[in-house]
Amino acid sequence: PPATRIDVNIPAAVMTTYENGKIINVRRVVVGKPDAATPNLSGSFSDLILNPPWNVPQGIAEREILPKGGAYLREHDMYVDEGRVVQRPGPKASLGRVKFDMQNPHAIYLHDTPSKAAFAANERHGSHGCVRVGDAVGYARGLATASGLQSEFDAKLAKGSTGAVRLQTAMAVRLM
């Protein structure tokens, strides 16, 4: 594996960051629940997406969101665009304030969440497959700072609209 990487231990729901082969950060994560398990895969990301919208996967939209009706959509700042449910960025956004835009064919990525209490639980298998990262904003700020981009990160985050910060070097990720 690359000496600088992120490893997510799915059964333990723990994320470990290595820099030049040494552990520099360990944090709790929330991973996929048994019926929507986080897959084993490898990928990487260069972009930190700030204030991301959530393009709800069709299956989740059909099973869990659309049956609840228009009032639910409005309450959760969602709308339907060309048959797809989208959640606007903001304090209720399921992806929180930052998404680590990992490239892979499964649309699985690491992201923030407004549900912070889940990180204190011993059982942290509760997502639809993506990896929710504890203190994701602080973690992303650290990555941006290491790339000399902290002021750009902070300015775009504070703006509240969707924006991206591109890291100098792609970060490898292994979900295992």
The residues carrying an active-site annotation are 111, 130
Tokens 């997502």 appear where? 127
Give CA–CA dist 14/174, Å, rounded: 12
Rg of the chain (C-alpha set)? 16
Position 156, amino acid: K
Give CA–CA dist 110/37, Å, rounded: 14
Residue by residue, what is the 3-state secondary structure of 93-133? CCCCCEEECCCCCCCCCEECCCCHHHHHCCCCEEECCCEEE
Q: Cβ–Cβ contacts within 10 Å for residue 14, how many?
A: 16
Check: CB of residue 169 under 8 Å from CB of residue 147.
Answer: yes
